[in-house]
Chain A
Amino acid sequence: DTEVTQTPKHLVMGMTNKKSLKCEQHMGHRAMYWYKQKAKKPPELMFVYSYEKLSINESVPSRFSPECPNSSLLNLHLHALQPEDSALYLCASSRTGGGNTEAFFGQGTRLTVV
């Protein structure tokens, strides 16, 4: 099973709302990632969790709050977003370290902020 599952697939939220994106994998991977992708651009790294600890935060605004409750789950909590935060949010997982860090991506959550 090489599946990374993201929910919801689509989300429309107002600028005052609070919502969460969820990501789940059962491959035993101990590194999990959030990426943001705008149209016709490559994915941009937001956060990396390694062994359930935040290891990389790419200077993401505090209105995005990641959480890794256990080794299989990754959440992204959203609050007071701006219209420019509308994008495809991708979750990924991989083994940690070493050469065989093949990354597997979910299908993404299409977020629209109105």
Chain B
Amino acid sequence: KQEVTQIPAALSVPEGENLVLNCSFTDSAIYNLQWFRQDPGKGLTSLLLIQSSQREQTSGRLNASLDKSSGRSTLYIAASQPGDSATYLCAVSHRNTGNQFYFGTGTSLTVIP
């Protein structure tokens, strides 16, 4: 069974810092990997989708990379802002069960003004 882990579980940084969130998965036979943001008590907002054939995707201050062979993805956030404070979740869809998403444990990010 696919297991997805995110490190660190919590992160606190001063405003303006660049930061990296990590996601690792045990089975490299994935369809894609998706990064989400979740504000407290709210739904999930899709940030970036990386298909299995891609190495990275960028959107604004966000850059996500994927290394399937090592079972890792990183989400890089440049010039962090207090509005970036949220929980960040990665999720992988598996090649054998394409419509089933396996979620990571999440990283709670606090950006201090």
Which listed residue (B34, B42, B101) contacts A45, Cβ 8 A? B101
A110 touches B41 (CB 8 A): yes
Asked, given contacts A100-B32, A105-B44, whether A42 binds B104 with beta carbons under 8 Å apart, the answer is yes
Chain B residues within 8 Å of A103, by CB? 34, 46, 91, 101
Chain A residues within 8 Å of B45, by CB? 105
Please give me the residue from chain A that is nearest to B36 by CB atom.
Answer: A105
Chain B residues within 8 Å of A6, by CB? 43
A101 touches B44 (CB 8 A): no
Chain A residues within 8 Å of B31, by CB? 98-99, 101
> How far does the Cβ of B34 sit from chain A's closest Cβ, in whole Å?
6
Chain B contacts to A: CB under 8 angstroms: 31-32, 34, 36, 41-46, 49, 51-53, 89, 91, 93, 97-101, 103-106
Please give me the residue from chain A that is nearest to B95 by CB atom.
Answer: A99
The range of chain A's interface size is: 20 to 34
Query: Does A104 lie at the interface of the complex (its beta carbon under 8 Å from any beta carbon of B)?
Result: yes
Interface centre among B44, B53, B106 (most CB of A within 10 A): B44
Contact with B along A79-114 (1 / 0, CB 8 A): 000000000101010101111111111111010000
Please give me the residue from chain B that is nearest to A90 by CB atom.
Answer: B43
Chain A residues within 8 Å of B103, by CB? 42-43
5 A-B pairs with least C-beta separation? A42-B103, A105-B44, A99-B51, A107-B43, A102-B49
Asked, given contacts A42-B103, A42-B106, whether A101 binds B32 with beta carbons under 8 Å apart, the answer is yes
Query: Does A21 lie at the interface of the complex (its beta carbon under 8 Å from any beta carbon of B)?
Result: no
> How far does the Cβ of B100 sit from chain A's closest Cβ, in whole Å?
6
